[in-house]
Amino acid sequence: MRAPRKKKTATSKVDKQPQVKKSATPAPKQTRKKNTSKASAVQSAQPTLVDLVREHLTGQGEPRYAAEITAALDKQHPERNVKNTVVRTTLENLVAKNQAQRTKQGSSVFYTAAEAAGAAVQDKPGDQQSAGSGR
């Protein structure tokens, strides 16, 4: 026959409180920072997705869908897990920085490199100067 279990005393509750405080110490956070810095050092050896998208756009002569860019990058870099939503966000960030141009045709959105757009912008100031000198 087994002996009945003893009820927990108040001292056991006091013992639990310091354990809670110990688990809240910042020591695990410091180790995480070290691990993330090592991980980022490994990732920095590879070109960033922004660089890959920008290079792909400059190499293309015509506008591209985000899905086409994702498929091309996935084919060129099968070791990377390139997702369409991430490429779309990257393209929108490039547009915000004037490094890419967005064109909408109906519900379709196309992206081109900003260099083609930059050439058109450079022509316009020249036209304004020649019109101003004719006065």
Integer CA distances (angstroms), 5 to 2, 8, 10, 11, in order: 9, 9, 16, 16
How far apart (Å, rounded) are the C-alpha atoms in residues 46 and 81?
A: 13
Strand partners, 48: none
pLDDT of residue 57: 92
How far apart (Å, rounded) are the C-alpha atoms in residues 110 and 104?
A: 6
pTM of the model: 0.54
Residue-level pLDDT, tens digit, the chain, 135 residues: 777 787 766 555 555 555 555 555 555 555 555 555 555 555 557 889 999 999 999 998 899 999 999 999 999 999 999 999 999 999 999 999 999 999 999 999 999 998 755 554 444 444 444 445 554
How far apart (Å, rounded) are the C-alpha atoms in residues 112 and 17?
A: 60
pLDDT of residue 47: 87
Are 99 and 53 in contact by the 8 Å Cβ rule? The answer is: no
pLDDT of residue 120: 44
Looking only at the bridges linking them, the beta strands covering 108-113 and 100-105 are antiparallel
**Per-residue buried b or exposed e for 91-125, using 16+ beta carbons within 10 Å of the residue's own CB:** beebeeeebbbeeeeeeebebbbbeebeeeeeeee
pLDDT of residue 89: 96
pLDDT of residue 90: 95
pLDDT of residue 135: 46
